[in-house]
Structure 1
Amino acid sequence: MSELQQEVQRLAAKAQADFNDRAGGKLDFSEESLRVVEDMLAEVAMYQDDLPPEAAEGLVTRFGCYILEVGRQMFGGTYSWLEERNQPVLVVGDPQSHTALGTWDKVRGRISVDTGDNIPFFFEGFAERVRASSGGRPALYI
C-alpha cells in the first residue's frame, strides 16, 4: 500500500471517527452516506464566516478523503497526487480510459455556501461514468 493510500485512508477513518456520532452512525463508506456528508457540510456552510481557515481545511481534507474512500471501496482504483490542484485523486480503470475523482475542491466549495457543489450529485456523475466506462477518453471529476 502506498503512503498516499495510507494517508487518504487515515484521514477518511478520522472523518468517520470524528463525525459518525453527529451523523447518527451513518458514516459507513456507502454511497448513501454521502447524503449525510452533504447535510453536515450544508450545516458547516451556515457558519463558514466564523470558521478559522485551518479548521475549514481540516474539514476539507477529512471529508474529501472520506468521499474518495467511498469511491475506492465501491470501484477499486489507486490514489495519485494531482500537483496542479494540490490534492489526491482516485483513479479507476486503465490508463487509456480511466476515470479520476478529486474531491477537496468540491468540499471546499460546499462549505463556502455553493449549493451547486452538491456532493451526492457530484459523486453520482463519477459513479455513472465508472459503471458505463467501456473504453474511450480519460475523465477527471473535480
Structure 2
Amino acid sequence: MSELAQQVEEKAALTVAQFQDRAGGALDLTPDSLAIIEEMLAEAAEFADQIGPEQIETICELMGSYLLQVGYTEHGGTYCWSDESDQPVLVTGEPRYRVALMTFDKIRGRLSGDAADNIPFFYQGFSDRVRTARDGEDVLFA
C-alpha cells in the first residue's frame, strides 16, 4: 500500500471514529452512508461562519478521505496526488479507461452551504460513470 493510500485510509477511519456516534453507527464506507455525511455537512454549513479555517480544512480532509475510501471500497483503483489541486485523487479503471474522483473541493463547497454540492448525488454520478466507462475514456469528477 502506498503512503498516500495509507493516509487516505487512516483519515477515513478517523472520520468513522470521530463521527460514528453522531451517525448512529451508520458510517460503514458504503454509498448508503453518504446520506449521513451529507446530513452532517448540511448541519455544519449552518455554523461554517463560526468555524475557523483550520477546522474547515480538517473537516474537508476527513470527509473527503471518507468519500474517496467509499469509492475505493466499491470500485478499487489507485491514489494519486494532484499538485494542482493539492489533494488526493482516486483513479479507477486503468489501463482500459480512467475515471478519477477528487473530493476535497466538493466537501468544501457543501460545507460552504451550497446544496448543489450534494454528496450522494456527486458520488452516484462517479459510480455510474465507472460502471459504464468505455475503453480510452478519461473523466475527472471534482
Q: Is the shorter-chain TM-score for this pair beyond 0.5, marking a shared fold?
A: yes
Normalising by structure 1, report the TM-score: 0.98
Counterparts of residues 50-129 of structure 1 (less than 5 Å): 50-95=50-95, 97-129=97-129
CA displacement at 1:96 relative to structure 2 = 5.4
Mapped to 2, the partners of 1:96 and 1:106 lie a distance apart of 26
Q: Aligned AA for 1:101?
A: L
Q: CA RMSD in A?
A: 0.8
CA displacement at 1:3 relative to structure 2 = 0.3
Runs (4 or more) in structure 1 with deviation over 2 Å come to none
CA displacement at 1:84 relative to structure 2 = 0.7
Mapped to 1, the partners of 2:82 and 2:101 lie a distance apart of 10
Count of residues in correspondence between the two structures? 142
Q: Deviations over 1:81-134 (max 9, x none)?
A: 011100001000014521000000000000000111000000000000001113
- Structure 1, unaligned stretches of length 5 or more? none
Normalising by structure 2, report the TM-score: 0.98
Mapped to 2, the partners of 1:108 and 1:88 lie a distance apart of 14
- Identity between Structure 1 and Structure 2 (%): 49
Counterparts of residues 18-37 of structure 1 (less than 5 Å): 18-37=18-37
Check conservation: 1:96, 1:138, Cα contact below 8 A: no
**Other structure's SS at 2:37 match:** helix
Mapped to 2, the partners of 1:60 and 1:94 lie a distance apart of 27
Q: Aligned AA for 2:76?
A: G
Q: Aligned AA for 1:67?
A: L
Q: Aligned AA for 1:104?
A: F
- Structure 2, unaligned stretches of length 5 or more? none
